[in-house]
Structure 1
């Protein structure tokens, strides 16, 4: 199967994940670019930020028109994470690749376990204060910068469990956080001069954007708990794969 076909297929799946679940895009994008398209880890990380930024912004627009974005919470959450993400990204450059991969797998598994916890029926959303949103965003930004991903797979659990948002509001708001964090990380990498294969990145991004549009419609048809279970199981699968790869 050609690299172009693989890029189109992977992009469509990742777009569905971002549009329906509000995260998981960068978790899936980096492995897809490395194992399917033959990118180096450095090139895959940078290319992933390009793809996820464009796809998240597209999915964000769709969720915003449906009223699923909590702009104040998302802006505080995303802005607070930018400085820690930059600092942690500098630290990550000095850590062995296998250690980063293992840390990524552990964080993904923990996030999945949080999402699998039974939710209390009839629970009202907790009022979100600026300090709480900023603190959670800074912590997410640090982890995001260290692992070199958009952070959506952590943003959704944080927004639901830490900040008390409903699942659909968390999905839409997480896309704002992903867009902000990914764009900031991408700008910080502009001076690295990593060679990028645009003949793969462009169709990958296009397929992801189209998939994100369909993912938004999928999200409207599924209940919040169902989305949580799908998201959590996907995270566990990614975590297991990456941990196995790290310890080989």
Structure 2
């Protein structure tokens, strides 16, 4: 039964990572805790393996289609590495009940973001950077002409640090923040933002795993391997689905699932926290 649950949950999470660049990975920890029976801290560590490996495979599939911008993704990931290290240290220091309670709040917030944010249509980069700079934003010009929208760059840095922090603390990918940051701040078309976000997720996951090395956690690697294998297959399917199915349709379905799991996690964790 545990094997079947791990395979089904892994496939669903991989599908979300491949198709949307994020969202589904937030289900990994609750699945490992409540369906597989894994310890909370071990689940967050195992989640990093599952999400990281799946993100790498999904990213390679997107790269073959020309949907990954390596330089920008590496820079975003490097900025987020500092947040990943800090989040990992904090995660190992807090009580499991606190971790799960915070996780339930995060899931509900992610579902809200997925349901309400306005997506830029795939294949369209939206208005140019110059057209979207508000009149009150300081602009620095040089010859040859160069525009620096510094507040926008600061938002990208903050988003990268926040993604790294959540990856380290909760063991999630953070694609639900990376994708809109790449679309709105860097003018990435939607498919490119999805592909590049997987590179960022893989880098943050690897950083967090290194930071957790030597923590003495006991992890059922058989379950993690099965979960990861199913997630990898799901991510490959998701990379194909994103070119054929409206991402908004997938978002609504996954957001509904995340809400249900978030409410269940809250119902289980908050009484234990308050008691």
Q: TM-score range by the shorter chain?
A: 0.7 to 0.9
Q: Is residue 25–residue 152 contact of structure 1 (8 Å, CA) maintained in 2?
A: no
Please list, as runs of the form range in 1=range in 2, the aligned pairs for 1:95-174 lying within 5 A after superposition.
Answer: 95-117=94-116, 119=118, 124=126, 127=129, 131-161=154-184, 163-174=186-197
Q: Secondary structure at the match of 2:50?
A: helix
Partner of 1:246: 269
Separation in 1, partners of 2:53, 2:32:
16
- Give 1:162 deviation, angstroms: 5.2
Structure 2 partner of 1:3: 2
User: Is the contact made by 1:85 and 1:141 (CA closer than 8 Å) also made in structure 2?
Assistant: yes
In the TM superposition, residue 120 of structure 1 has moved relative to its aligned partner by 7.7
2:25 is matched with 26
Give the Cα–Cα distance (whole angstroms) in 1 for the partners of residues 266 and 114 of structure 2.
20
Task: Report the Cα offset of residue 247 of structure 1.
Answer: 1.7
The partner residue of 2:232 within 196, 209, 213 is 209
Q: Deviations over 1:83-129 (max 9, x none)?
A: 12212321233333333223223233333323323638787155497
Tell me how far apart the structure 2 counterparts of residues 46 and 137 of structure 1 sit (CA, whole Å). Answer: 20
Query: How far apart are the structure 2 equivalents of 1:162 and 1:231?
Result: 25
Residue 191 of structure 1 and its aligned partner are, at CA, apart by: 0.8
Q: How many equivalent pairs are there?
A: 247
1:117-145 alpha-carbon deviations (Å, 9 max, x no partner): 36387871554976543332112222332
Superposition RMSD in Å:
2.6
**Equivalent residue runs for 1:20-59 within 5 Å:** 20-59=19-58
* Contact 2:171–2:205 (Cα < 8 Å) also in 1: no
Q: CA 1:96 to 1:154, structure 2 compared with 1: closer, same or farther past 3 Å?
A: farther
| Counterpart residue number, 2:212 | 189
The answer to whether the Cα contact below 8 Å between 2:120 and 2:189 also exists between their aligned partners in 1 is no
Report the Cα offset of residue 163 of structure 1: 4.8
Alpha carbons of structure 1 residues 236 and 77: separation in structure 2 relative to 1, 3 Å: farther
Q: TM-score, normalised by structure 2?
A: 0.78
Gaps spanning 5+ residues in structure 1: where?
none
Deviation of 1:6 after TM superposition, in Å, equals 1.9
* Aligned counterpart, 1:218: 241
Contact 1:73 1:133 (C-alpha < 8 Å) held by counterparts: no
TM-score by length of 1: 0.86
In 2, the alpha carbon distance for the partners of 1:126 and 1:153 equals 23
Structure 1 CA distance for aligned equivalents of residues 21 and 165 of structure 2: 19
Question: Which residue in 1 is equivalent to 2:146?
Answer: none
Cα distance, 1:43 vs. partner?
1.5
| Structure-2 separation of matches of 1:149 and 1:162 | 22
